[in-house]
Amino acid sequence: MRDLPDGHPLGRMFSGLAEHAFFSHLGVADPPLTDYLSGLLTRFLHFDAVYRLRNGAGRPITELTEMVLEAEQLPPGGKTRLEYYRHIGDFALFWTGLYPEVVDRQRSRACKDAMVNYTVQGKRGYLITSKMEQAERHDAEASLFRRLSDQFELCAVGLRKVREEWELNADPPPGGELIR
């Protein structure tokens, strides 16, 4: 899994969609926030990134509950714990914002995530990340993750607007109509 190179068309598209959704629809002009969210979209293009955390057996962790349990088992402080909590925030925001229907479907399945509130866990993941960044004296990052925690619901609405925009602007497949 590689990051997209700077200036890649998909990266530019996500950046433009995020800026438009947040500024035009929500009245939010926060370039570091929209840059982070467009970066999240490009990072999560591959499911390898969405499910990058591994359990003790080396298998991808696919449920938010398991991610939280794994993070709690890690020693306090440290880069790995920070990465886990950041990923928990990103994972929860990705699904809550872009695909809320998937989160709703989880509630009807017999799985650990059936009783989990993705918003609460996402906000908590970003809050813990902000405190860890602050302890490391990374003030700009700490501030960004604090805003992601405080404005989680707004960010989720903004990501829904991004999805609406890209669905509206999607080209129909050759020889057929786009199914909606």
Lowest-pLDDT range of 30-34, 36-40, 48-52, 173-177: 173-177
141 in any annotated domain:
yes
Tell whether 61 is covered by a domain.
yes
Domain that includes residue 34, residue range = 9-167
Judged against a pLDDT cut of 90, whether residue 26 lies above it is answered with yes
Q: Residue 133 — φ and ψ, nearest 5°?
A: -65, -40
In a domain, 132, yes or no: yes
Question: Looking at residue 175, what DSSP letter applies?
Answer: T
> Is residue 172 included in any domain, yes or no?
no
Residue 176 in any domain: the answer is no
Amino acid at 119: T
d(CA 64, CA 176): 37
Nearest to 47 by CA among 102, 126, 105: 102
Question: What is the per-residue pLDDT for 86?
Answer: 97
Q: Is residue 15 part of a domain?
A: yes
Q: Which of 158, 169, 156 is nearest to 123 (CA)?
A: 156
Q: Is the pLDDT of residue 180 over 60?
A: no
Residue 145 domain-assigned (yes or no): yes
From residue 74, alpha-carbon distances to 57, 82, 131 in Å are 16, 10, 16
The total domain count for the chain is: 1
Cα–Cα distance for residue pair 106/170, rounded to 1 Å: 27
